[in-house]
Amino acid sequence: MKKIISLLMAAVMMTSALPMDVYAEGNNPNEGIMPLYNCFSKAISAVIANGNSVECKSNIVVYSGEEWVSVTQTIEKKSSSGSWTSTKYTWSKNADNPTIGYIYTNTTTISDGGTYRLRSDLVVKTSSGTKETVTSYSGTFTI
């Protein structure tokens, strides 16, 4: 019985010595590739489409110790090949109060039929002072 317990303890100690870091696929910093984002703040993209009228919302969530600098909304259109391209519908806003969350809203009318989505690019100042751009997408909608 003592041998079994000794073997189990040895297995547990060996397992605890293994590296336990988790990275996004292809983002192992030991290979020189940095993690996707160093900040926790985000913008959640949402669209309400009613006929040709489209309301775009970017819900900015600010993590403690970080500040949002600016947000840019762009409506993207899906091409026949399946890729997404920016349209003329784009808006930007600089932060009035960078430590407080904010809902940025714009409304437009789209006359050209197709499949679209909203892209929100949020520039965040991290707690270490660096800036990162965090991108989010809404679900698709059809005009």
The residues facing 48 across adjacent strands are: 55
pTM > 0.85: yes or no: no
Q: Are residues 47 and 22 part of one domain?
A: no
Number of domains in the chain: 2
Is the pLDDT higher at 28 or at 114? 114
Q: Are residues 125 and 56 part of one domain?
A: yes
Q: What band does 2 get if pLDDT is binned at 50, 70 and 90? A: low
Residue 116 scores a pLDDT above 80: yes
Q: Are residues 99 and 137 part of one domain?
A: yes
**Residue 110 CB neighbours (<10 A):** 19
- Closest to 116 measured CA to CA, from 80, 88, 90, 78: 78
pLDDT tens figures, 10-25: 555 554 444 433 333 3
Q: What pLDDT is stored for residue 37 in this prediction?
A: 72
Q: Which domain holds residue 126?
A: 42-142
Q: Are residues 73 and 27 part of one domain?
A: no
Mean pLDDT across the stretch 22-42? 56
Q: Are residues 104 and 76 part of one domain?
A: yes
Q: Are residues 96 and 49 part of one domain?
A: yes
Q: Would you say the C-alpha torsion 102, 118, 71, 129 has a positive or negative sign? A: positive
Q: Are residues 71 and 24 part of one domain?
A: no
